[in-house]
């Protein structure tokens, strides 16, 4: 499976929400990473056909998505940023209803729903009302409905918002499980959602593609730019104003600062191994105010 975005732009009132976005996706997990307002949802909404782009083209296996008509939808599974569920539906009832909307034949629907309930570990909750589920369980219903038609492209918009750490881990594992032989596009502003599961990261800033690369290569690109600096309480204010700081840890009278800087920020600054959080701060963290 291959998806090609070619020069996609979208403006609202003369301001670009997305500008000349081009990228190529093959099977694997793609983390679409950007701050709030970067254009992630705009890109996804254009992709799934909720929005029309002003310019550009999306190709599915080199064929213009617009010429595919209804066939296009058979390729797509989609979990929106704010999924609206019918709260009075029971889990299984809801999934069966979604099968009907997706025109999955009745003869297959029952089996498919059972299978997915098993995979997302909701078999025991199949007769629970959706309104009575925890956030994590509801997101699992969301991903199950997105997988009903066995799509080869799975699109998830901020899927872990509101989940607790354990639910996040479960959800990430589920995504990895579903990523075999598929394209998964996962939009988020939370680095840990994708740090260890994404094969590629797409950095989106102010509607523009900044970089597309593997997490390892992005981290490697920051080699020599991440430092630890130790400060006393008295020296802290000056450093907070001068430096781009990704973390602070107090240890007795010392405060250890993790600093992102192209140059050695202080004479006693020591280089440390970068991580994807540092990459995020390096590209998106300008103008931090302390
Ligand atoms: N319907 C709209 N009308 C006007 N401006 C819009 C509209 N939708 C989005 N925008 C603007 O387009 C830009 C990109 O928004 P978008 O929702 O795609 O960002 P995002 O990366 O998904 O952010 P978030 O994580 O906050 O949803 C923002 O500046 C936003 O204010």
Instruction: Say which residue, 162 or 32, is predicted with more confidence.
Output: 32
Span 252-282, pLDDT tens digits: 889 999 999 999 999 999 999 999 999 999 9
Residue nearest to atom 14 of ligand 1 (CA): 39
Q: Quick check: CB of 37 below 6 Å from ligand 1?
A: yes
Residue 128, token pair as written in the block: 């629970």
SS3 at position 57: strand
Q: How many CB atoms lie within 10 A of CB 24?
A: 12
Query: What value does the mean pLDDT of the chain take?
Result: 93
Provide the greatest CA pair distance for the chain.
72
**Cα 84 to ligand 1 centroid, rounded to whole Å:** 19
Whether the pLDDT of residue 151 is over 80: the answer is: yes
Residue nearest to atom 28 of ligand 1 (CA): 37
**Cα 39 to ligand 1 centroid, rounded to whole Å:** 6
Q: Quick check: CB of 14 below 6 Å from ligand 1?
A: no
**Domain ranges, ordered by start, for the chain:** 2-216, 226-273
**Cα 50 to ligand 1 centroid, rounded to whole Å:** 14
The CATH number of 2-216 is 3.40.50.300
Predicted confidence band of residue 227 (pLDDT cuts 50, 70, 90): very high
**Cα 23 to ligand 1 centroid, rounded to whole Å:** 20
SS3 at position 125: helix
- pTM of this prediction? 0.93
**Cα 181 to ligand 1 centroid, rounded to whole Å:** 31
Whether the pLDDT of residue 287 is over 60: the answer is: no
Mean pLDDT of 159-177: 89
Instruction: Say which residue, 8 or 235, is predicted with more confidence.
Output: 8
Query: Over the Cα atoms of the chain, what is R_g?
Result: 22
Q: Quick check: CB of 36 below 6 Å from ligand 1?
A: yes
Mean pLDDT of 16-35: 97
Which pLDDT belongs to residue 290? 52
Mean pLDDT of 136-143: 92
SS3 at position 265: coil
* Residues 104-137: b if buried by 16+ CB within 10 A, e if exposed: beeeebeebbeebbebbebeebbeebbeebeebb
Whether the pLDDT of residue 133 is over 90: the answer is: yes
The best mutation among 9, 12, 210 to test binding of ligand 1, ranked by most ligand atoms within 8 Å of the C-beta, falls on 12
Mean pLDDT of 96-121: 93
Which pLDDT belongs to residue 1? 93
Predicted confidence band of residue 41 (pLDDT cuts 50, 70, 90): very high
Mean pLDDT of 110-132: 95
**Cα 45 to ligand 1 centroid, rounded to whole Å:** 11
- How distant is the alpha carbon of residue 19 from its chain centre? 19
Which pLDDT belongs to residue 161? 83
Q: Quick check: CB of 42 below 6 Å from ligand 1?
A: yes
Which pLDDT belongs to residue 105? 92
Distance CA 273, CA 125 (A): 44
Task: Point out the ligand 1 atom lying closest to the alpha carbon of residue 157.
Answer: 22
Whether the pLDDT of residue 288 is over 70: the answer is: no
Residue nearest to atom 30 of ligand 1 (CA): 37
């Amino acid at each position: 499976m291959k998806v090609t975005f070619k020069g996609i732009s979208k403006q609202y009132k003369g301001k670009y929400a997305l500008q000349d976005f081009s990228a190529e996706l093959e099977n694997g997990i793609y983390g679409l990473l950007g701050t709030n307002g970067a254009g992630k949802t705009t890109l996804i909404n254009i992709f799934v056909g909720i929005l029309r782009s002003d310019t550009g083209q999306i190709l599915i296996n080199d064929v213009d998505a617009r010429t595919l008509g209804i066939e296009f939808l058979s390729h797509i599974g989609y979990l929106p940023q704010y999924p609206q569920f019918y709260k009075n539906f029971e889990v299984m009832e809801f999934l069966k209803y979604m099968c009907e909307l997706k025109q999955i034949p009745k003869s297959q629907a029952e089996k498919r729903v059972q299978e997915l309930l098993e995979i997302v570990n909701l078999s025991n909750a199949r007769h629970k009302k959706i309104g009575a589920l925890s956030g994590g369980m509801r997101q699992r219903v969301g991903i199950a409905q997105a997988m009903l038609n066995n799509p080869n492209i799975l699109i998830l918009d901020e899927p872990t918002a509101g989940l607790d750490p354990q639910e996040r881990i479960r959800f990430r594992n589920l995504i990895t499980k579903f990523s075999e032989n598929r394209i998964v596009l996962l939009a988020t502003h939370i680095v840990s959602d994708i740090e260890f599961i994404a094969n590629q990261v797409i950095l989106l800033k102010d509607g523009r593609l900044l970089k597309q690369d593997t997490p390892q290569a992005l981290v490697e690109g920051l080699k020599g730019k991440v430092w630890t600096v130790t400060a006393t309480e008295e020296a802290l204010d000056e450093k907070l104003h001068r430096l781009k700081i990704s973390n602070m840890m107090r240890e007795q009278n010392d405060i250890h600062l993790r600093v992102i800087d192209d140059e050695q920020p202080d004479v006693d600054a020591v280089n440390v191994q970068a991580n994807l959080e540092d990459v995020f701060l390096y590209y998106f963290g300008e103008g931090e105010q302390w």
